[in-house]
Amino acid sequence: MTALASRQESELALAKAGTKEFVTVHVADQLFGVEVTDIQDVFSLKGLTPVPGARPEIAGVLNLRGRIVTAIDARCRLGLPSRPQGFAGMMAVGVEYQGEAYGILVDSVGEVLRLSDSDFEPNPVNLNPNWKDVSQGVYRLDGRLLMTLNIDQLLCVATA
């Protein structure tokens, strides 16, 4: 009970402090951030099986510790050109959506950042609609911008 209580307290404190933790990922040249609480794990892509006839953003299926994970190509989903060298060497962010396991394929996974709400800005109005769908807004970092990625939004179109 005490451990739980203290955790709740610390979470409360965090919320008060107005910060959130993000895992940064690179898709093409853009920096994105996925909230830590959304992520189950991060793994490097091995043995992807394409699924003929599936929608283009579905890169295929893969085996993650005995579980079959549907891999979503973030580049395709965001309307970015696919990598010339294919999926080899890509990283995946493992998430759970409606009880099923999905992996979002990204170019690389960076670090965990704690970002303050004061640096947050809503999406610019001229943002590409593809991106508007999946992002709540932008964090201003030193010298670059981090787009937030909403996993539910990203996957809801993929599974619709």
Query: Which stretch, 16-24, 64-72, 79-87, 126-134, contacts other proteins (CB under 8 A)?
Result: 64-72
Cβ-Cβ contacts under 8 Å for 12 (sequence gap 6 or more)? none
- 98 makes contact with other proteins (CB under 8 A): yes
Residue 134 found at the interface with other proteins (CB under 8 A): no
Determine, following the binding rule CB under 8 A, whether residue 147 of this chain makes contact with other proteins: no
Assess 17 for contact with other proteins (CB under 8 A).
no
**How far apart (Å, rounded) are the C-alpha atoms in residues 83 and 27?**
10
Q: Is 96 in the site for other proteins (CB under 8 A)?
A: no
Q: Is 84 exposed, middle or buried (0-12, 13-18, 19+ CB in 10 A)?
A: exposed
CB of 49 or CB of 118, closer to other proteins:
49
Residues sharing a CB contact under 8 Å with residue 24, sequence separation 6 or more, in sequence order: 31, 32, 33, 109, 110, 111, 112, 113, 146
> According to CB under 8 A, which one of 5, 16, 52, 125 is a site residue for other proteins?
52
Residue 54 makes contact with other proteins by CB under 8 A: yes
Shortest Cβ distance from residue 10 to other proteins (Å)? 30
- φ and ψ at residue 54, rounded to 5 degrees: -80, 165
Q: Mark out the alpha helices in the chain (DSSP H runs).
A: 2-17, 74-77, 129-134, 151-159
50 is an interface residue for other proteins by CB under 8 A: yes
d(CA 104, CA 76): 11
Residue with smaller CB distance to other proteins, 22 or 97: 97
Indicate whether 12 belongs to the interface with other proteins (CB under 8 A). Answer: no
Radius of gyration of the chain (CA): 17
Query: Under the rule (CB under 8 A), what is the footprint of other proteins?
Result: 47, 49-55, 58, 61-63, 65-68, 70, 72, 98, 100-102, 155, 158-159
